Amino acid sequence: MNKILFVIPLALSVLGGSAGSAQSGDTTTTAPSAQTAPDNTGRNARDRDGSTLTPGDQSESKADLDLTQRIRRAVVADKSLSTTGHNIKIITVNGTVTLRGPVKSEKEREKIVAQARKLAGKKQVENELEVVAH
């Protein structure tokens, strides 16, 4: 029994040591090339000037918070939408909903706007979603 307890850790260390050395000497894999970071300077400047709603402008009234939450739940529950679509900004102020952010297609944009209008009313939704190609 004692020999088995001694042999198992020894075997694991030998296997682990040889696997580690084989990996460190392996030159067939290359590191992925560095990707250029997205440049959002223009969008960030636009948001700083105060004329565009940001999540910080979300109203704290119970009615506005409730409407934002219901729209968010509807958007997230729609499994046909991309992760990008699920992560749009939904900002409600005095009953008016503003939708902002990137979406993957015009169809996705239309689905999100339709869900928001269904819950908030047609005239109560400002669509600022942007279709971006990925």
Give the domain ranges of the chain: 59-134
- Overall pTM > 0.75: no
Q: Which fold has domain 59-134?
A: Histidine-containing Protein; Chain: A; (3.30.1340)
Higher pLDDT, 119 or 123: 119
**Per-residue confidence (pLDDT) for residue 39, from 0 to 100:** 54
Distance CA 134, CA 19 (A): 38
The predicted-structure confidence for 37-95, as pLDDT tens digits, reads as follows 655 555 555 555 566 788 877 889 999 999 999 999 999 999 999 999 999 999 999 99
Q: How far is CA 75 from CA 43, 60, 69, 126, in A?
A: 24, 21, 10, 16
**Per-residue confidence (pLDDT) for residue 63, from 0 to 100:** 94
Residue 100: pLDDT over 70: yes
